[in-house]
Amino acid sequence: MKIAIIGAGNVGTSLGSGWTKSGHTISYGVRNPQDAKFSELRTLLPEAVITTNAAAAQDAEVIVLCTPWGGTEAAVRDCGSLAGKIVIDATNPLKADITGLSCGFDTSAGEQVAQWAVGAQVFKAMNQVGASQMDHPVFKGPSKPVMFVAGEGDRKGKVLQLVAELGFESIDVGGLEYARLLEPLAMLWIHLAVFKGQGSDFAFGLLRK
Ligand SMILES: NC(=O)c1ccc[n+]([C@@H]2O[C@H](COP(=O)([O-])OP(=O)(O)OC[C@H]3O[C@@H](n4cnc5c(N)ncnc54)[C@H](OP(=O)(O)O)[C@@H]3O)[C@@H](O)[C@H]2O)c1
């Protein structure tokens, strides 16, 4: 599958690495493809194309948003029309000091993205764990880490599959409005990691009898 990753930072690099291992074709959408700062990424993922947001998005079936929340609207607009595409929104609408979210309860970043990405099937996923745990994470314990997926559309199965390929138990939580639960869940992960001494080597999982 052709996957365009918009934003080549921590999350974008980890997801690109993970999906390359699964045989997908990765292109990165960035603001300045010639920037020398991408040399490390070019060495890590030599097969990946680094180009503009528009070029990456128009050539891909799946667009994954990995930008800081404040830059996400501009990034989506730079992609051009996303009608008919699958969009996976991995962003979290963090306040600048990462002590909370800048929206919630009656909307979410995921729903906001759906308003900008007119005609796309938008899913919230890959926002609930640290970037370092997104590429085939291995944990002690009886189960795989869980990754919840919110959003509706006939291609949800493909999104659940892409998430599972990274090493997660992918769980369908329903429509995109459930991003209102998944973004605070990410906030809990950040709170535990940054302020409560858990570090970043953990993820949430489901235990069943
Ligand atoms: N880090 C985590 O552990 C984690 C986990 C889950 C979810 N998230 C969420 O995922 C998103 C990305 O986080 P991150 O840690 O990967 O951030 P990051 O390392 O700062 O990377 C974000 C990247 O997006 C780029 N960018 C900004 N505006 C852009 C635009 N208009 N077009 C293309 N690229 C653009 C930035 O480029 P410049 O460097 O040139 O500004 C940067 O390379 C955030 O919303 C975050 O809340 C993060």
Q: How far is residue 26's CA from residue 152's CA, in Å, rounded to a whole number? A: 24
Which structural domains are found in the chain, ordered by start?
Answer: 2-195 (3.40.50.720)
Q: Whose CA is nearest to atom 10 of ligand 1?
A: 91
pLDDT at position 5: 99
Q: Tokens for 112?
A: 């906001």
pLDDT at position 142: 72
pLDDT at position 11: 98
DSSP 52-121: EHHHHHHT-SEEEE-S-GGGHHHHHHHH---TT-EEEE----B-TTSSSBSS-SS--HHHHHHHHSTT-E
* Under 8 Å between Cβ of 66 and 9: yes
* Under 8 Å between Cβ of 6 and 79: yes
pLDDT at position 141: 79
d(CA 104, ligand 1 centre) in Å: 20
If one residue of 67, 95, 128 were mutated to test the ligand 1 pocket, choosing by the most ligand atoms within 8 A of its CB, it would be 67
Q: How far is residue 40's CA from residue 127's CA, in Å, rounded to a whole number? A: 24
Ligand 1: which atom is nearest the Cα of residue 10?
Answer: 16
d(CA 51, ligand 1 centre) in Å: 16
Pairing of strands 146-150, 169-174: parallel
Pocket flag, ligand 1, residue 31 (CB < 6 Å) = yes
pLDDT at position 170: 98
Q: How far is residue 12's CA from residue 19's CA, in Å, rounded to a whole number? A: 11
Q: Whose CA is nearest to atom 43 of ligand 1?
A: 9
Q: List, in order, residues 6 or more apart from 61 with CB less than 8 Å away.
A: 1, 2, 3, 85, 86
Q: How far is residue 169's CA from residue 160's CA, in Å, rounded to a whole number? A: 9
pLDDT at position 79: 98
pLDDT in tens, the chain (209 residues): 999 999 999 999 999 999 999 999 999 999 999 999 999 999 999 999 999 999 999 999 999 999 999 999 999 999 999 999 999 999 999 999 999 999 999 999 999 999 999 999 999 999 999 999 999 999 997 789 999 999 999 999 999 999 999 999 999 999 999 999 999 999 999 999 999 999 999 999 999 99
Q: Whose CA is nearest to atom 36 of ligand 1?
A: 7
pLDDT at position 143: 81
Q: Whose CA is nearest to atom 20 of ligand 1?
A: 9
Q: Whose CA is nearest to atom 32 of ligand 1?
A: 75
Pocket flag, ligand 1, residue 104 (CB < 6 Å) = no
* Under 8 Å between Cβ of 185 and 105: no
Nearest one of 62, 29, 61, 25 to 45, comparing CA atoms: 25
Please give the single-letter amino acid code of residue 58.
Q
Pocket flag, ligand 1, residue 10 (CB < 6 Å) = yes
DSSP 139-194: -SSSSPPEEEEE--STTHHHHHHHHHHTT-EEEEEESGGGHHHHHHHHHHHHIIII
